[in-house]
Structure 1
Amino acid sequence: MHLIAHRGWAAGDGENTLASFARAAGDDAIAGVEFDVCRAADSGALMVSHDPPARAEGTLALDDALAFLAGTELRLLIEIKQPGLAAAVIDKVESHGLADRAVVFGFARVARSFPWNDPRRVRLGVIVEYPWTAGRWLRRHRPDVLLLGWDERAWTRAAFRAWWSCFSLERLARRHDVPVVVGVVRRRRDLEWLSRRQVSAAVGDIDPMRGARA
């Protein structure tokens, strides 16, 4: 199972920054970085940010992020936060020679606007919030990657484990030959549990997993 650093490995340097990506690139145990993309309100430029910044100035541009990441061996999980950006993001990924290392994904409301019926220039994925919708997404759109949510609340972790078995998500993923990515993981024991399942990768907050709360 691959470990993907959530919004880079921030460690006080700020998430979704070149510093957080450089920190992740320097650790052999980290296979890739996950980060968010949206448009700046003032210019419409594609920026690396969880929320749309009011101004592009002071926020990492997607072009700058991709130029840096092209010089590493990291895999890229790129979450698109707004509908209608997929084609532009895919063009950027291709222009930096990163198509073979990248997955472009989003929550269902965003992923519905992805170019599912076009030839896949970059792998596409969807975050499935409810397990009973996974089969429909797999049959209708054939995503290249299936992403499942995981958080700190005890009941959601218990629900995920039940869904993994009761809704046969593991068998469903095998039947459709689609890798499963889970996130966001913050505890080492959760990471270890996932590693024993048929999970391709886990997106995690690195410091909590390795620190006192791991």
Structure 2
Amino acid sequence: MTTPLRTVSFTQLKDATREEFQYLHRLEIEYHAGLPRRILKALEELDGEGSIQGYQVSRLGHSLQTATRAERDGADIEMVVAALIHDIGDALGTANHSQLAASVIRPYVRKEVTWVIEMHGLFQMQYFAHLIDQDPTGHLAYQDHRWAASCQRFCERWDQPSFDPHYPTEPLSHFASRVEEVFSRRPFDPAFVER
């Protein structure tokens, strides 16, 4: 009887054995199964000190409000979950938070959703960039893109109005099963990402 591996012996990938990579692959599958839980934890960390300060709501509150608005406006599960995680990149990539959030959700949703999340930071600037002496018209370079209207809707109806501490917002627990459903999909499954 062989003892199960606990740690591989190689120090360079080129020296790995099949047994070691079969073992690591099993561990990766188990780790991937925890992704929805880690997404929810990352969202929780957008509250309090883990949030950009100065707003009337935390970044978590803003994310929950954006997802609540999307859901109440009839958005599908992919767009609701995207609305929930759209600012998840703020903690690590403030300047490119949109691209970071798009990278997180890309393997699990249709291309339209990924594009909207990737571009929402640029489209959102139309509402405030002039107040900080920046160009509010950058989004116009994409006005003829097939998903520009979808991104505009995301920003106008769900994202930009979601800084209201009095808006009746659903709690994170309300969205947990949706996060589980989307982030438990097989990554890059053509049934989802090629629609």
- TM over 0.5, shorter chain: no
| Structure whose residues are more often helix by fraction | 2
